[in-house]
Amino acid sequence: MEKAKKKKRKTFTRRDFLKGFGGGAISAAVVPQLLAQDIASLRTKEGKIPLFSKKQIILTVNEKKFSLVVEPRETLLHVLRERLNLTGTKMTCNQGECGGCTVLLDGNPVYSCLYLAIRADGKKITTVEGLATDGKLHPVQQAFIEKDAYQCGYCTPGFVVSSVALLNKNKNPTLEEIKKGLSGNLCRCGNYSKIYEAASVASKSMRRS
């Protein structure tokens, strides 16, 4: 599953992905498999699928361990914002259309509004609050300030996390690669060109350090 996702990110842009989704090809092939997995993990000893049973999970968020009891329907976004008070991760559409809630899950970017908290059990999560180390901003955060790569600032955490994910995988991306890598995030104020400028500046300073 994770592999498939990784591959998709490399080869699909948001629009391509949506096009495919509209055509039904992806929805037919991937979704049932996904559901089957989740349902299997939910079955009780008697083979019943409990509708409201809560589950204990352990999340490592920004290098801190949290043990939580969650409902199967709770999204990772909900747990982060409402239970752990990590409100840096934003809810913009709550349906996987904008990337405002992007977090790193074992290093990979995911839309936390589409990711059920129970699936994140045992995983390592990094939110925008966890990127600075020892009080020093991440080079991506530095570059966003320097380049003024934001306006209202609401989509910024999502863009910062997506940029970090991109630069962790691709140390020296071309402009085209940056654009593709960040095309899953929407900025309504329309500051994209400053955002990808910032990502480019950050990649340079990350390579230097």
Partner 1 sequence: MEKKEYLADTEDSNLLYYEEFRDKETEEPEAAPSPEKDKFEIIGKYTPRIDGGKIVTGQAPFTHDIKLRGMLYGKILRSPHACAEVISVDLSKARSLAGVKAVLQLKKGRVKYAGEQVAAVAAVDEKTAEQALKLIKVEYKPLPFAVTEEKAMEEGAPQVHDMPNIQKFNEYSRGDIEKGFKEADIVIEQTYKTAVEIHHPAETHGSVAKWEGERLTVWDSTQAIFNVRDGLARFLNIPASRIKVIKQYMGGGFGSKLGVNDYTVVVAMLAKEANKPVKITLSRKENSLCVGNRPSALQTIKGGVKKDGTLTALYLKNYTSGGIKRGDRCSEPLIDIYKCPNVKVEELSVFTNTGASRPTRAPGHVQGTFALEGFLDELANEIGLDPLELRKKNYTTKNLGDTEIPYSSKGLDKCYQLGADKIGWKRRNKKPGEGNGKIRRGLGMASQIWWGVGRPGTLADVKLHRDGSVEAVCGTQDLGCGTRTYMATVTAETLGLKPKNVTVKIGSTEYPWCGSSGGSTTTPSVAPAIRNAALKAADYLKKLAAEKLEISPDDISIEKKKFFNKNNPAKSISFKELLGELRREKVFHGEYIGRPSGYAYNTFGSHFAEVEVDTETGQVKVLKVVAVHEIGRVMNKLTAESQVIGGVTQGVSTSLFEERVVDEGTGNVVNPNLRDYKIATCLDIPEIIPLFVDMVDPRINILGAKGLGEPPRIPIAGAIANAVYNAIGVHVRDIPMTPDKVLQALKRKEVG
**Please, what is the minimum distance in Å from the beta carbon of residue 36 to partner 1?**
25
Report DSSP letters for 66-106, one per residue: EEEEE-TT-BHHHIIIIIS--TTS--SSSSSSS-TTEEEET
Least Cβ distance, residue 154 to partner 1 (angstroms):
3
Please say which residue, 13 or 108, places its beta carbon nearer to partner 1: 13
CB-neighbour burial class of residue 120 (10 A; exposed 0-12, middle 13-18, buried 19+): buried
Distances (CA, A) of 25 to 34, 37, 95, 114, 183: 15, 19, 20, 19, 21
- Near partner 1 in 28-47, by CB under 8 A: none
Binding letters toward partner 1, positions 112-151, x by CB under 8 A: ---------------xxx-xx----x---x--xxx-x-xx
Nearest CB to partner 1, comparing residues 59 and 62: 62
Contact, 57 vs 68, CB < 8 A?
A: yes
- Judged by CB, which is closer to partner 1: 46, or 95? 95
d(CA 102, CA 149): 17
Task: Summarize the chain as % helix, strand, coil (round to 5).
Answer: 50, 15, 40
What does the radius of gyration of the chain's CA atoms come to, in whole angstroms? 18
Nearer to partner 1, 18 or 36 (CB): 18
> Judged by CB, which is closer to partner 1: 37, or 53?
53
Residue 5 or 14: the one with the smaller Cβ distance to partner 1 is: 14
What x-and-dash track marks residues 7-26 binding partner 1 by CB under 8 A? ------xxx--x--------
Q: Tokens for 64, please give them.
A: 């801190």
Q: Please, what is the minimum distance in Å from the beta carbon of residue 38 to partner 1?
A: 19
Q: Taking CB under 8 A as the criterion, which residues in 172-201 touch partner 1?
A: 178-180, 182-183, 185-196
Per the rule left: phi > 0, alpha: psi between -120 and 50, beta: everything else, 184 is alpha
86 lies in the site for partner 1, by CB under 8 A: yes
| Residues at the site binding partner 1, with contacts judged by CB under 8 A | 13-15, 18, 81-82, 85-95, 97-98, 100, 127-129, 131-132, 137, 141, 144-146, 148, 150-157, 160, 178-180, 182-183, 185-196
